[in-house]
Chain A
Amino acid sequence: MILDSKIPEGPLAEKWDKHKFNVKLVNPANKRKYDIIVVGTGLAGASAAATLAELGYNVKAFCFQDSPRRAHSIAAQGGINAAKNYQNDGDSVYRLFYDTIKGGDYRAREANVYRLAQVSVNIIDQCVAQGVPFAREYGGLLANRSFGGAQVSRTFYARGQTGQQLLLGAYSALNRQIAYGKVKMYPRTEMLDLVMVDGKARGIVTRHLITGEIQSHSAHAVILATGGYGNVFFLSTNAMGSNATAAWRAYKKGALFANPCFTQIHPTCIPVSGGYQSKLTLMSESLRNDGRVWVPKAVGDNRAPGDIPEAERDYFLERKYPSFGNLVPRDVASRNAKLACDEGRGVGTTKLAVYLDFADAIKRDGLDAISQKYGNLFEMYAKITGENPYEQPMRIYPAVHYTMGGLWVDYNLMTTVPGLYATGECNFSDHGANRLGASALMQGLADGYFVIPYTIGDYLAQMPAARIEPTHPAFKEAEAAVRADVDRLLSINGTRTVDEFHKALGQIMWDYCGMARNAEGLQFAKKEIQKLRAEFWNDVKVVGTNEELNITLEKAGRVADFLELGELMVDDALNRNESCGGHFREEYQTPENEALRDDENYTYVAAWEYTGPNQQPALHKEELKFENVKLTQRSYK
């Protein structure tokens, strides 16, 4: 298989405009003859569904939550980047492009990232027009703040809940189309298979989570906007329901999965407190604007933070990276926190935490100013830990947050399955090996509002409008397969719960395919995962029936997929004999413990093809060409 990224010819800055002109259009009267399925209603899904419906297509949108407004985009705190240069501090489309490529450790496609930076400015305009209440200055104009990996202030924000406000904007646009009858919404419905007819994606099979009804839906194209797969680790900042099932079933139907090992470990999360822990809570990266990260200089210093004098504290990020200081990119901040803890200088009862200290900021700006900026985050921290961050430093530790990898897509966001698209975190395209803060919201909305509405028309214009009924044998076959999977899970009646398997998988992934990886550990992990997967299918306990709200059954299906995806992540991490961004192979590091890339051999996207159950997947490479930026060792010193 040759991976054609379909990057348009021409200079970087003109590619997207040219491409928009060159794509084929579906005339307005014909759009109503085409049906599009959108799975997932987060930023990428809701924005795509609403925009496509506005254009005149018939859209069917699906989400597993009870309302599209609950999608996990809602939890994004810090902000959204856009190259508006409202602050007159030297920002530009090119700088946002450059920062994103560099932040991604040179493992992203130039053309995609440039397009992302270009449309970033439209996103802000669109959201403001929808009534999204971004932070404003006293003069009534929009405010900005800075984020990791950038030296300009280009992040637009809505207190600590930018994700919620942006999602509510997209949700409102979606609601408007639901009211018009252009979008049919299917909440509490989970996609369990992709249906292909004549080699093209023509629909999906779903299970209704309340009634258990297994149903087929046909369309002319399918868009997956189902988010990332961070929950492979069990503990992550993802929502409890976030899952990879839709993407994984698409992978099994022929869509390639790209760079699965690129996972982002976010540096500022509330540490794990016990074995019952169900998820981890992020503390926004924006906190690093004012918070200072430190650990005691001495190993085994058990004094309370207030009792450790200034001279005996190690502000390790400021020490190592004087120019970026506490605002180094996430991968760098996370790895350094881990290093400090590995050295035995971690804090708190578990010793798996570092301090994020606001004492200096409070002294400088006053308590009010700090509480204005971060009040809700401080409150959240206090609720979870029972500690007051105004009086003592927060304890933070890295946690799995985002997955840069995902379904491989070309410039049009189409996967290797014709008619199947992937947008937002579900695809792999824009963040390389590490995503910069406030760029996930940007990418989700860029894909949904401004990219897919153009590119999908190009595909639809070239296919007949005739519909395929969901009674077509391909649908019946897929339904039967889904039904068989459900029955199999229900019939095992083993002794171990789904969560036990999930936690065991998460532990393997965190220990061997987490912040630091090595070949030996990865090989061990691969065997362990295979073993665990075999045990799962022999010994998992799922009670109840299909025809009801069955929370164990839902989870079992998702964990079954995680047990396969985890192995693919390990395969990918083993294949990539270099360190880059979120993928840190201990064998490949500089003397200062920085990631050491191997540009000669690994400047490619690793796209994996499914070859059958328990078979080694096939690797396909998409070479990355850098025509505009020079590959350098990332330096934030």
Chain B
Amino acid sequence: MAGNNPNSKPMNLTLKVWRQKNTKATGRLETYQVKDISPEMSFLEMLDVLNEDLLRSGQDPIAFDHDCREGICGMCSLYINGRAHGPERGTTTCQLHMRKFADGDTITIEPWRATPFPILKDLAVDRSALDRIQQAGGYISVNTGGVPDANEIPIPKSIADKAFDAATCIQCGACVAACKNGSAMLFTSAKVSQLAMLPQGKVERKTRVENMVAQMDIEGFGSCTNIGSCAAECPVGISLENIAMLNREFISAKLTSENL
């Protein structure tokens, strides 16, 4: 079938892919050749093609996480040519298209690397540490029912918009993967800021930030040294302002909360 762009020529590529049987096994980069890759393909479709080839020849296909393939579920990952989610800014791996590469390119594909993200197999890692940070306080404690009418809580549009910007985090973990320190501050700060800005979230803001930061440390993530790789590689553009806000929330909570 013809592509969208009739002039697009198929490409041949060399892939170096991290293969690792399971968490305990030692892994290594394996080299594969893929041929006739359409520039209209998504990066993951290119891997699908490789996997079909591997499967047909009786080899174990490459395991990688993915689900929605629309850039919103946050399940895809991959460190592509030295960059989290590949070379295109503001893009998840599933939305990265092969037209960003050239015929003859060598592409190195590695999993997210961080001790709190153990490798499960090949390129798939366990990011449940991020869930546990959310469980430590990334919510507003309201039960279903018994809440006020939605319009009884007016929120200035500017604040609603800012809270929204923070709320767009897709929990992919690229921030951790890109950070030299393997810090999860950008991730944690997005939720803390979103809820701290909204009137609904102010009730629990002190306890929330204390607990979420404590959990972040327990999980073994590194500390933030304000390098900024996280925000630069974030596919949805979560801003460093959130980290400043997290710091501010944390300091003020520690000074004024009554939690011992």
Contact = CB atoms under 8 A, between A and B. Distances in A.
B164 interface: yes
Contact of A179 (B3, B71, B135): B135
A449 interface: yes
A275 B72 CA distance: 24
Interface in B48-70: 48-49, 51-52, 55-56, 58-61, 63, 65-70
Interface stretch (A126-134, A581-589, A601-609): A126-134
B140 A129 contact: yes
B41 interface: yes
Interface stretch (A3-11, A97-105, A377-385, A480-488): A377-385
A165 B167 contact: yes
Contacts of A240: 66-69
B219 interface: no
Contacts of A272: 1
B contact residues, range: 35 or more
A125 interface: yes
Contact of A136 (B68, B160, B201): B160
A139 interface: yes
B134 interface: yes
Contact of A67 (B95, B99, B127): B127
A380 B56 contact: no
B73 interface: yes
B162 to A, nearest CB: 9
B56 A158 contact: no
Interface string B65-101: 1111111111100000000000010110001010100
A386 interface: yes
A386 B7 CA distance: 13
Contacts of A164: 72, 168, 170
A126 B160 CA distance: 17
A463 to B, nearest CB: 23
A contact residues, range: 35 or more
B206 interface: no
A227 to B, nearest CB: 12
A142 B148 CA distance: 14
Interface in A122-168: 122, 124-131, 133-142, 158-159, 161, 163-165, 168
A541 interface: yes
A74 to B, nearest CB: 5
A395 B4 CA distance: 10
A412 interface: no
Interface string B145-166: 1011111011111001001100
Given A66-B65, A66-B127, A69-B74, A128 B153 contact: yes
A356 to B, nearest CB: 15
- Residue with the highest number of chain B CB atoms closer than 10 Å, among A67, A158, A348, A552: A67
A322 interface: no
A173 B139 contact: yes
Nearest to B164: A133
Contact of A159 (B44, B126, B164): B164
A584 B150 CA distance: 40
B195 interface: yes
Interface in A519-561: 541, 543-544, 548-549, 551-552
B120 A273 contact: no
Interface string A267-285: 0000111111111011000
Nearest to A500: B52
Contacts of A125: 147-150
B144 A70 contact: no
A241 B42 contact: no
B67 A241 contact: yes
Nearest to A350: B2
Contacts of B200: 128-131
Contacts of A297: none
A289 interface: no
B72 A549 contact: no
Contacts of A86: 151
Nearest to A210: B120
B22 interface: yes
Interface of B: 1-6, 21-22, 38, 40-42, 44-46, 48-49, 51-52, 55-56, 58-61, 63, 65-75, 88, 90-91, 95, 97, 99, 120-121, 124, 126-128, 130-131, 134-136, 138-145, 147-151, 153-157, 160, 163-164, 167-168, 170-171, 194-195, 198, 200-201
Given A129-B200, A543-B55, 6 more contacts: A69-B73, A130-B142, A136-B155, A273-B4, A500-B52, A552-B55
7 contacts: A66-B127, A66-B128, A72-B73, A75-B72, A159-B164, A164-B72, A173-B144
Q: Which 6 A-B pairs give the minimum distances between C-beta atoms? A: A140-B154, A172-B139, A129-B147, A128-B150, A133-B164, A549-B121
